[in-house]
Amino acid sequence: MSPEPLTPVIKDLLASGGRSFSFEFMPPKTEADERRLWLAVRQLEGLAPTYGAGGSTRDRTVRVTGRIAEETTLTVVGHLTAVSHSVAELRYVIGSYAAVGVRNLLALRGDPPGDPAGAWEPHPEGFRHAAELVELIKTSGDFCVGVAAFPEGHMRSPTRESDIEFFVRKCRAGADFAITQMFFYPEDYLRLRDAVTAQGCDVPIIAGIMPIISVAGIERAAALSGARIPPELAADLHAHAEDKAAVRQIGVEYAARMCERLLAEGVPGLHFYTLNGSRATREIYELLGLGARRGSTAPITA
């Protein structure tokens, strides 16, 4: 019997000149969450994305990720965070992903549980930096590894220059690609890309896009991430805050314009933070004319 073909890896797609169009979901905590997740996955599968998610329900996350890899046409990226994990636990999760056929992993240091802005304390038997996690994954098997990038700088970095240094360190530890935190100014992404290139680093940086579907939701996400919302966009959203359909339309149209600019500037891919919904992302796809494209990916976080 011939061996099963290996699942695609993101670095090969990008190296071939293709673009990655990916969707990120939160891992389900309950059976009801899981049913909602599968509905969104099936609705988005026709757009040929990558699948992704963030959260802490580790065993369920790995199980669902493996099922998506087995039962859909999506290329799956498993997320792995160093926070609150010992090295031994991280090795176990890496092995669990390998066992379900996941070859793409996103290596994240992670935020403190309960309070993303709180003091970050490493596990006594764990890692302090994402670069260490990248090294562990790369020495644990034939994985394609992604890392996070921050167009506006990480909120914990003392300077923008130091943030670039930390990013380049992750790349030199073995990262194959990066996905940015959400942002709303294309110029911030372009400045990040230029600064990284100036350091002699050519790791592809995929742009992270957050479709706006509610005023309260996007303001909460911005407060947690430190992302700036353009004043004119904020004013437009607040003027229509009581009209959910209008808010979604404003958010979709703004995201589509930003994506058009980024694609024109040669971004290697777009990564949509879906919040386990599909409608806004599908509408952005339609505005961009991306619906007929194939060969992209989708991640889930542990």
Alpha-carbon gap, residue 67 to 117, rounded angstroms: 33
Amino acid present at 251: G
121 is catalytic: no
Weakest-pLDDT range from 117-126, 139-148, 224-233: 117-126
The secondary structure of the chain, three-state, reads CCCCCCCCCHHHHHHCCCCEEEEEECCCCCHHHHHHHHHHHHHHHCCCCEEECCCCCHHHHHHHHHHHHHHCCCEEEEEEECCCCCHHHHHHHHHHHHHCCCCEEEEECCCCCCCCCCCCCCCCCCCCCHHHHHHHHHCCCCCEEEEEECCCCCCCCCCHHHHHHHHHHHHHCCCCEEEECCCCCHHHHHHHHHHHHHCCCCCCEEEEECCCCCHHHHHHHHHHHCCCCCHHHHHHHHHCCCCHHHHHHHHHHHHHHHHHHHHHCCCCEEEEECCCCCHHHHHHHHHHCCCCCCCCCEEEEC
Q: What is the pLDDT of residues 184-226, one digit of tens each?
A: 999 999 999 999 999 999 999 999 999 898 999 999 999 888 8
Q: Are the C-beta atoms of residues 112 and 122 closer than 8 Å to each other?
A: no
Token pair 């994506």: residue: 259
Candidate list 4, 24, 34, 242, residue with the active-site label: 24
> How confident is the model over 258-283, as a mean pLDDT?
87
Weakest-pLDDT range from 73-87, 162-176, 203-217, 220-234: 73-87
Alpha-carbon gap, residue 276 to 11, rounded angstroms: 25
Mean of per-residue pLDDT scores for the chain: 83
Q: Percent of the chain beyond pLDDT 70?
A: 83
Q: Are the C-beta atoms of residues 55 and 27 closer than 8 Å to each other?
A: yes
In the predicted model, is pLDDT for residue 254 greater than 90? yes
pTM for the model stands at: 0.86
Alpha-carbon gap, residue 149 to 164, rounded angstroms: 9
Query: Would you tell me how many other CB atoms lie within 10 Å of the CB of residue 194?
Result: 9
In the predicted model, is pLDDT for residue 54 greater than 90? no
Alpha-carbon gap, residue 121 to 258, rounded angstroms: 36
* pLDDT on residue 27: 67
In the predicted model, is pLDDT for residue 298 greater than 50? no
Longest distance between any two alpha carbons in the chain, whole Å = 63
* pLDDT on residue 252: 93
* pLDDT on residue 115: 66
Q: Are the C-beta atoms of residues 122 and 145 closer than 8 Å to each other?
A: no
Residue 299: beta bridge partners? 77
